[in-house]
Chain A
């Protein structure tokens, strides 16, 4: 089920009414059932890998505690199971394509195997969340969950099941164990957060999306047009993904559950490393804790630390999609952070004012988005090597026009950024509760009016559903 569907507009109120009429234990039963209805709504078979993952990880975590001397075996078994799920559904076709490409280039005939499994939405998210749980149990950060129902809820909590945030057991399981309290004030904030999320998705992301799609469909885009597309995609993917997260967090709050913040004004980052502390924070934390640090982290000298960093970002790229452009995108970020560390070591970065750092970081982010958006490596190379001097007046004019349209749709993002930035907060210390009931109702009415009147005529799935 999609958040931006009429089905969800019926589903959520029904769940909420039942939820707040039940006891804590029954609430958890309801949430597990709701999660399975939500996830299996369009493709019921999606539930099979979800159930398999739940049962295997739950059992292995319990076994780790029961047989501590063999816990490594159970850890390896559960991680291998999760990797095999991802490998089967997400990477098998990619691996086969590459084997065939190597065979063909070596003059051999390609393998006569067709592998075209449909990727269940959110598989990468819930497998990472499950791996996080079993590793946390293994190292003793959390105790293994005894109650299968509560563990099933940890995996299938519908607001964050399909596209995160990738939560940690230490944050979520205690919330499922305790009594939830209905708080009307918190509800107002939650509804406003959901409305803002819907606005970002339906008005900003879905209106910039068709422009971006057209630009990236051009066979021979000129320099200004491809960078208008990069800017448009920067707006689209941020509005789309952060919109999803806001709807997820708002929905969870309506249920008395707090999800972690996944974005913190990423386009105000002052360096590549800072960007990853602000963009998809739950994934960054996961990669840091379960890939970078186990690899050795900053230990072993600068060369080894650099290798750990590059490997972590290559893995991050591959997590996003089974395609070489994602690996390239991950490597690009890894090398950018290495370069930033080198500049920091030289002491160069101290000379630049923050505005310059933000501008440079945003520019390199846009270059990264071109790599992320363009899957065809030949076309990617073509796009990145266009010369500004080769573009005509007509091409510059069209690009300016496209940027203007994108800027108009993105204006609410800029206003929100301004209103919630630390600088404005210092000058005008008004928070959401300070607005009072009337102020909050006014903001909500503006957002609702905007969604009704300016939402895109055509809508698309959330971008991160494909991962």
Chain B
């Protein structure tokens, strides 16, 4: 989300010549963020003025999102031998999931395994098609370009954006179900201020991002909860200045050509939280 979205040097300069450290790990989600905060930032003894966590839609309270399968090693790399919070959160069933499914997943993370198998099928198909001289990267680029959100209609936009696929749940700050309250508590204990930044996904033709009513309700509740815990919240998801031409075709990532512009937009949002 932030690999091309932030130039740390430029951001530091725009925020009054401050030092900015980008702790970016591709594909990381809430389990990973919790451990990076607790076991790296807080454990280091450094007192940063502000720690920003960039997230998308429901990710903050979906602890299983990108915590298993191929992402498991990334989470484990930031963990200690025993992590009671991890056991507490991950041992419970996911939101909207049956007990049986949760039990199966504890024995073997099938969904994550399936992702890997489907990726393999996808790679086999790409290799077969490109065995006559095409490059896989070109093919991938064409596929992304063809199915860019701006070229889809109706339900296709929602499906491609993942809005309809993600769990339509209510905001639930239960410490047994998500890492969010643990991040907030750890930061408060260490007197570190947290800022949660909701990033904008690839916009549609009108510049907006399709959002279900449930998601809007969820974000409003999340915002209220974060404010009540003395943290900051930035909702960049409807920022009209973040336009489609800043994104790589068809996906939620800012293109390298728009890094400077994106950094300026984030700096404008974050400046107000710094003395």
Contact = CB atoms under 8 A, between A and B. Distances in A.
B98 A220 contact: no
Contacts of B114: 453-457
Interface in B112-153: 113-115, 117-118, 121-122, 124-126, 128-129, 134, 138-139, 142-143, 145-147, 151-153
Contacts, number: 78
B111 interface: yes
B152 A218 contact: yes
A113 interface: no
A220 B151 CA distance: 7
Contacts of A401: 125-126, 129, 139, 143
B174 interface: no
B142 A214 contact: no
A394 B145 CA distance: 10
A389 B155 CA distance: 29
A458 interface: yes
B272 interface: no
B118 A454 contact: yes
Nearest to A10: B100
Contacts of A455: 114
B160 interface: yes
B80 interface: no
Nearest to B157: A217
Contact of A213 (B125, B138, B151, B159): B159
Given A397-B129, A457-B115, A218 B121 contact: no
Interface string A210-234: 1001101111100001000000000
A457 B155 contact: no
Given A6-B98, A458-B165, A217 B142 contact: no
B220 interface: no
B205 to A, nearest CB: 9
Contacts of A405: 121-122, 125
Contacts of B256: none
Interface in A213-262: 213-214, 216-220, 225
Contacts of B118: 207, 454, 457
A133 to B, nearest CB: 38
Given A395-B146, A405-B122, A408-B124, A453 B156 contact: no
Nearest to A455: B114
B125 A398 contact: no
Interface in B149-178: 151-157, 159-160, 165
A453 B111 contact: no
Contacts of B147: 214, 218
A398 B153 contact: no
A218 B146 contact: yes
B156 A218 contact: yes
A454 B152 contact: no
Contacts of B39: none
B129 A453 contact: no
Nearest to A395: B146
Contacts of A453: 113-114, 117
Given A397-B142, A405-B121, A454-B117, A214 B111 contact: no
B101 interface: yes
A83 to B, nearest CB: 31
Contact of A210 (B125, B146, B151, B159): B159
B98 A217 contact: no
B110 interface: yes
Contacts of A225: 146
Nearest to A407: B125
B160 to A, nearest CB: 6
A401 B111 CA distance: 24
A219 B153 contact: yes
Contact of A219 (B129, B134, B152): B152
A91 interface: no
A406 B117 CA distance: 15
Interface of B: 98, 100-101, 110-111, 113-115, 117-118, 121-122, 124-126, 128-129, 134, 138-139, 142-143, 145-147, 151-157, 159-160, 165
19 contacts: A214-B152, A214-B159, A214-B160, A217-B159, A217-B160, A218-B147, A218-B151, A218-B156, A394-B142, A394-B145, A398-B142, A400-B129, A405-B121, A408-B121, A454-B114, A454-B117, A457-B111, A457-B115, A458-B165
Given A210-B159, A398-B142, A457-B111, 7 more contacts: A218-B153, A219-B151, A219-B153, A398-B146, A401-B129, A453-B117, A456-B114
